[in-house]
Amino acid sequence: AQSVTQLGSHVSVSEGALVLLRCNYSSSVPPYLFWYVQYPNQGLQLLLKYTSAATLVKGINGFEAEFKKSETSFHLTKPSAHMSDAAEYFCAVSEGFGNEKLTFGTGTRLTIIP
């Protein structure tokens, strides 16, 4: 069975500071990993995905994530936070192989301090 843990339901950073959102996964097979962002009253938008190619994945809006198998982690980072980054962020895992289920973490609300 697959699962995702996001440490920190709320993260606050100053504008211009480093953003680090943590995600650890559990999967019985090599996983497919995703980060989604959700702005208020909107759907989810894909930031980036890991599908067993390069371990450092670059996404939209300056975000990137590194897949670390030894740590079962897929943390999301951005070097310099912008006010527009304030949103809810979800890490998700899929085992593929015909399993359609995308398992989401509980989410991290990112607040940017001016």
- Binding to another protein by CB under 8 A, coded x per residue (else -) over 59-98, reads -------------------------------x---xxxxx
Decide the pairing of beta strands 108-113 and 87-94.
antiparallel
- CB 32, min distance to another protein, A: 6
In contact, 91 and 4? CB cutoff 8 Å: yes
- 107 near another protein, judged by CB under 8 A: yes
- CB 49, min distance to another protein, A: 5
Which stretches within 1-114 are classed as H helix? none
Considering only residues 28 through 57, tell me which ones interact with another protein, judged by CB under 8 A: 32, 34, 36, 41-46, 49, 51
Burial class (CB in 10 A: 0-12, 13-18, 19+), 43: exposed
Q: Which two tokens stand for residue 95?
A: 């085992």
Would you tell me which residues interact with another protein (CB under 8 A)? 32, 34, 36, 41-46, 49, 51, 90, 94-102, 104-107
